[in-house]
Every structure is written in structure tokens, then in C-alpha cells.
Amino acid sequence: MQKVLIAATNSNCGKTTFTMGLLRALKRRGLKVQPYKCGPDYIDPMFHHQASGQESVNLDIVMATKEHVKDIFTRYSENADICVVEGVMGLYDGRDRWHGSSAEIASLLDIPIVLLVNAKSTAYSIAPLLYGFKNFRPEGCNPRILGVVFNMVGSERHFSMLKQACEDVGLECLGYLKRNEKLSVPSRHLGLSIAEMEKLENLINAAADEVMAHVNIDKIVNP
């Protein structure tokens, strides 16, 4: 059973869109995917369910014990080919510093991380940011970054500069998502109408197409 956690440098990097696209892409491969969501969020798990066909499970070490989180992760992963966890906010954003963050959950469950980076309006200057995420290790927290995926990429030349930044920092570049305003998640509220669900299905398929075209899924499935 493989596992991966989708994290980001900060909120609004496109974690949910990328996660939905990856879930659907893996489902298209015939894999049984078990989705999870860091924290108590209940909207994103609805999106995960739509994309994967499996109920998504919350992993929250603020409101639950670490032992309980370990138990439910293991229990729901038993029959899965791969587990995909969507992080919350930025990688190290927790209730108190990094405590309760995606980084702490990834460390607790020994899940490698795909770091999603919003590359809009930046290029090689992303290198020091990546260097910080690669080397920052607070006490008791040791997340493993499998690789980087860039979102909001404007062109192949733009992507080549971002890849150079990854190479110079020593992180593997796993691919990118093109800048596409149509790949935006519907408004978050208490429910989704039938019309919104149809839009969501179109978004999921479009995101999956993008992931399959430009992201190294094989590296994620077999790190």
C-alpha cells in the first residue's frame, strides 16, 4: 500500500483541485484509492468522495489523540492500493506553531509529501522558498518531501525555470498544472446543488486530464 500527502507552501495553492485530479487519475488507472483530509474540514471530503468513489476520512491530531489517528488511518487503508491525504493550509501551519499541522501528521504516519507550489508571478526566486521547506525541521517533526508540483504555470519556459530551481535545491520536480482559471473549486458552503455537482464533475475530469498530462504519477505511486 502506497501513501502520499498533498501539502502546500500556503493556502490557496490549489491543493483541493490537485488532490481531486490525482484521485480521479488514480481511479482511472483502476486503483482503489483511500482519501483523507487533515483537520476537521467536512467540505473537502465531499469533493474527495466525488473524485474517488470512496468516503474520505478526517485526520485531526488536535481534537483526537495521535494513537486514534494512527488507528483510523491504518483501519481505512487496509484494502486500499494507495492512500492520498490532503493537507490543511500551509505545510507547517498548525494550532500552535507546527503542532497539528500537515507536517506533523505526515511525520506521525510516515507519509511522503508532494509539495504544491503556486508559481504565479515567480520563477527562479522560488528556489530559496523550496530550500527553506526542504531544510526546516522543528523538534519532533521530520516530514519527507517526495517532490514538488507547480501550479499556475504560464508556459514551458516558465516551467523550465521552476525545474532549475528544484534541481539546484535538490528536490525532485514531479510536474505542473497550467494556469487555468476554469480549474477552480465551487464556492464552499453547507451543500452542493445538482448543478454545482455537475460542474464539480467537469472540474474533476479536467483536473485529472491535467494531472495525467503533466505530472509524474508513476513516481507518486512508486516512490
Q: Could you report the per-residue pLDDT of 89-146, keeping only the tens digit for each?
A: 999 999 999 999 999 999 999 999 999 999 999 999 999 999 999 999 988 899 999 9
User: Does residue 57 contact residue 76 with C-beta atoms inside 8 Å?
Assistant: yes
Would the pLDDT of 211 be above 70? yes
pLDDT, averaged across the chain: 93
Quote the CA–CA distance of 123 and 121 in Å, as a whole number.
Answer: 7
The secondary structure of the chain, three-state, reads: CEEEEEEECCCCCCHHHHHHHHHHHHHHCCCCEEEEEECCCCCHHHHHHHHHCCCCEEECCCCCCHHHHHHHHHHHHCCCCEEEEECCCCCCCCCECCECCHHHHHHHHCCCEEEEEECCCCCCCHHHHHHHHHHCCCCCCCCCEEEEEEEEECCHHHHHHHHHHHHHHCCCEEEEEECCCCCCCCCCCCCCCHHHHHHHHHHHHHHHHHHHHHECHHHHHCC
CB neighbour list of residue 141: distance below 8 Å, 6 or more residues apart: 92, 98, 101, 103, 104, 107
Q: Could you report the per-residue pLDDT of 23-71, keeping only the tens digit for each?
A: 999 999 999 999 999 999 988 999 999 999 999 999 999 999 999 999 9
N-terminal to C-terminal alpha carbon distance within the chain: 12
